[in-house]
Amino acid sequence: MPNTPMVAVFDTAFHQTMPEKAYLYGIPYEYYEKYKVRRYGFHGTSHSYVSKRTAEFLGRPYESLKTVVCHLGNGSSISAVLNGKSVDTSMGLTPLEGLVMGTRSGDIDPGVMQFIMHKENLDIDQMLNILNKKSGVYGMSGVSSDFRDVENAANDGNKKAEVALDSFAYRVAKYVALTQPLWAVWTPLLLRQAWERTTRLPERKYASTWHFWVFRWTTKPMASGDRKSESPPLIPRLRCWLFQRTRSWPSPGKHWH
């Protein structure tokens, strides 16, 4: 297509505003100096777009808004967006860091890798293949990386599937809770992907403490026209929004009041 304009968009670009305290690892600084080993983050186009659209829906300047964006699905990540800039995110040098995902393990003690490699006689490439493609809810449940399949298995009494869903939900809540010191004026967002046709995950009790209750906002999936919904006001001054990913962004859907 010689006459077609080509555009390159870097998935990590949005997170380049993270401060050093957020993107540096607790390893010798020389590896950052020599190889730029640091946290880069991913899903930047998604986190940027959702946070900007939220400012429009709220009728507030993007540069004055504080949001926690949860991009949830087979690949999942969370970001904290302060005054229009990403200040932290759950993924790191690679997409493997952070949440439990469809086939990715998320955060893991590196010592676990060494232990399994010695026991199973694996090299590093084999180990990373397991962590990237055979772990997450798929590896934990032994069923699938599709949350609908895992939910069906859990409903049929599959204990491993039940635990896999609980682990996914718990890790999401755990990461959002890391922003708790700023929560008085932060707006958590969920990009609806992991549970597009699932009823189980939104109902899960992520924890008993107050700051996780914000996730318990619906008992059934949104109808096809309800692309954006606001959570019930369970916490004073805390507004929570749920977005369903589509090719085009329609007008706002129903709200809770």
What is residue 222's DSSP assignment?
P
Point out the catalytic residue in the list 11, 146, 149, 166: 11
Closest-CA residue to 78 (of 86, 150, 213) = 86
Look-up of token digits 């939900």:
169
Here the tokens at position 42 are: 């991913």
**What is the CB-side half-sphere exposure of residue 120 using CA atoms within 13 A?**
12
Give the H/E segment covering residue 88: strand 85-89
Burial of 29: CB neighbours in 10 Å, binned 0-12, 13-18, 19+: exposed
d(CA 165, CA 137): 7
Return the SS3 of 111.
Answer: helix
For residues 191 and 46, the answer to whether their CB atoms sit within 8 Å is yes
Q: Which phi and psi (to 5°) does residue 167 adopt?
A: -65, -40
What is residue 51's DSSP assignment?
H
- The C-alpha angle with vertex 58 and arms to 57 and 63, in degrees rounded to 5, equals 105
Give the H/E segment covering residue 176: helix 159-177
Q: Is 88 a catalytic residue?
A: no
- The C-alpha angle with vertex 179 and arms to 175 and 184, in degrees rounded to 5, equals 140
Catalytic amino acids? 11
